[in-house]
Structures are given as structure tokens and as C-alpha cells.
Amino acid sequence: MKITHIRAIPFAIPYRKPLHFASGHIDVADHVLVEVVTEDGVTGIAEAPPRPYTYGETQASIVAVIETVFAPAVTGMSLLAREQVREKLARTVGNPTAKAAIDMAMWDAWGKTVDRPLHELLGGYTDYLNVSHMLGFADPAVMADEALRITDEYGITSFKIKVGRRPIDLDIAVCRAIRDAVGDGAELYLDGNRGWTASESAAVLRQLEDLGLSRVEELCPADDVLGRRWLVRQSPIPFVADESVPTPADVTREILAGAATAVSIKTARTGFSDSLRVAHLAEGLGVEVVIGNQIDGQIGTACSLVFGASQRTTARHAAELSNFLDMSDDLLTEDLCIRDGKMSVRPGPGLGIEIDPAKLDHYRTDN
């Protein structure tokens, strides 16, 4: 099971409907397909989504660091030497999604080698997750109509509302319009992408107290240390750390500092190996975890799905698995399916997905 090649293939697929939020916007999925090939002829795959406004990575930097630094360091090692690979990758600072994609592609290759589904190898708790959908910036009526459409078409009744605009009344109006549209039975929660100050965030929480929000996420900057602790102490609902916890060490710091009370796990930044660490750390601390979305394509969504289904704690809440619906196309031979608000793990070894060579040839940008 020795690794013979690691390939980083850039590709670009436009979005039908761009996603706008407090820290940026996404018009094109300019991601990187990462392939780990073994001496047995097995190819494991994963997806690295660059988010320069969050982690400092770009498509070009992901390709470069994999080809010039990570691949030479890891080639020749066994798929089972994940801790040794992790140690070698950790010698390079940053580059979380590049590291995560290599880790997940190794796991996928292992699953294919032993002919077992990855959600079983990771923990095997269940084989499906409830799905939550992310709603980006738009007028209140537009966002409310989008929520209703998603419910009608896919049976989804859990929604993350992107907030963080000024004045705060813009997003307060949006939240009320969505609640009026979907009714009291739907789950609503907020993600501010660090867009507000602590005092603005507190004002929003007070004004939306009657809306029955299930949680809020990254309403204000993580480096506003005192303001964030002040805000979290008065939050009546779980305060989720996301961009502020890219590593297990960051999770420990934020939770013990009182700067958050729950954690979002994104396999796109912590792979499977470190996502297991975060999940188990959170369980030991008595902290709830949710499966977040790095605005992944279907490959990244499949990674989130198998990991979320593998653990009892991550399967408890609806997972953010639907944002690929806004992409104009994808690279898989068979699209992922959301039915009755749920997504089931694909049958088959590893991630259970396959790349369509013709689509990859069409969308890759290194030709």
C-alpha cells in the first residue's frame, strides 16, 4: 500500500447562483482535485477548496505546495502510516486544505484497498445524515422563497442563515422573513463569518430571542478576545466556533477561554485524521459538534458525509451538505442525492464516488 504518486489537479466550475456572505463571495468553484495513487494501482481522491479570506490558500498555492513540498515528502510511505505522514505535513506551516485533502485521499485509497466503506472504517455509527442548507445574502423575500423551494424540492427543514451586514436591521428582517415562511418547525441558525462587533451581535441576539434559533456561529472576530468572551457569556444558545478553530489546539483554546460553547468540524480543513481528534476532544470536554460546509463541491460533500455518519456526536445534528446544488456541474459520474431531507452514504469502498474523466478534462485548468 505504498504511495507512488500524489497529483494536484486544478479545476473551475461556475456557480449558477453565487453565494455572498460577510467575509467574501463565491462565483466559481476553483478547487483542486487531489489524487493519491498506490503501488497496487488504487487511486484515492479528495477535494481542496481554497478560501484565501479565511486560511490564506489559493488554488495556485495548493497545487504548488502539494507538488513541490508534500508529494516529495510523502511518496513511498504506506497508506497506513498516517501519523508519520501527518508529522511530515505538519513541518510546513499553514496550508490546511492541502494537508486535509492528502489525508482524506489516503483514507479513500485505504478503503478501496480493503474494499470497505469509509464511514465504517472511521467509526460506523450510521449511514446517513440529515441535511442543512446555507442561505447567502439576498433580500428577505428572496431568501424566504429560497428556503421554501429547498424544502419543497429536497425536504430540508434546517437552514443556516448568513448574516453580518450593516445595519443589523438588514439581517434581522431576513431572519424574520425566513421564520415566517418556513414556520416554527424548521431549524434556523446564524453564521456571521466574523462580520459584526460583539455589541452588534448582542443586539441581534436580543432582537431575535423569540425566533427560536438553535445556535449562532462566528458572529464577531475571534481576535476580539474580551468582546467575544463577553458575548458568549450572555448568549442563551450555543455559540459555535468555526474559522477560529482550524486545529485541535485551537479548539482547546477557544473552549477553555470561554470564547465558544460548540465546534464546527469541516473535513476540508482537518481531513479525517484531525477531524477525529476534534470530535473526540469535544466529546471529552462535553462540547457539541456540528458538520460544517467549506462551500464544497460534491467530492468534499461526500467527505463530510462519511465522516459525519461515522460518529455518534457528529450524526446528532443536521449537516451542511447541500451547497453543491448551486454549482452548474460537478466531476462525479453520479450526483449525490438528497431525499426527504437526508443524504445517504454511497455504497461501495472508500468514499463510494468516482470521477468522470470527461468532466475532469473539460473543467481542469492546467491543460
Give the catalytic positions in this structure.
162, 191, 217, 242, 266, 294
Residue showing cell 490558500: 57
- Note whether 44 and 50 are within 8 A (CB): no
- Note whether 97 and 55 are within 8 A (CB): yes
Residues 230 and 220: their CA atoms lie apart, in Å, by 11
C-alpha cell at 196: 459584526
Residues 41 and 38: their CA atoms lie apart, in Å, by 5
Residues 161 and 154: their CA atoms lie apart, in Å, by 18
Q: Is 233 exposed, middle or buried (0-12, 13-18, 19+ CB in 10 A)?
A: exposed
- Going 226 to 96 to 247 to 125, the CA torsion angle's sign is positive
Residues 221 and 93: their CA atoms lie apart, in Å, by 22
CB atoms within 10 A of CB 17: 13
Residues 362 and 186: their CA atoms lie apart, in Å, by 39
- Going 249 to 200 to 189 to 287, the CA torsion angle's sign is positive
Residues 169 and 171: their CA atoms lie apart, in Å, by 5
Residues 2 and 4: their CA atoms lie apart, in Å, by 6
At position 18, the amino acid (one-letter code) is P
Q: Is 352 exposed, middle or buried (0-12, 13-18, 19+ CB in 10 A)?
A: buried
Is residue 82 helix, strand or coil? Answer: helix
- Cross-strand pairs, 191: 162, 217
DSSP 312: T
- Cross-strand pairs, 46: 34
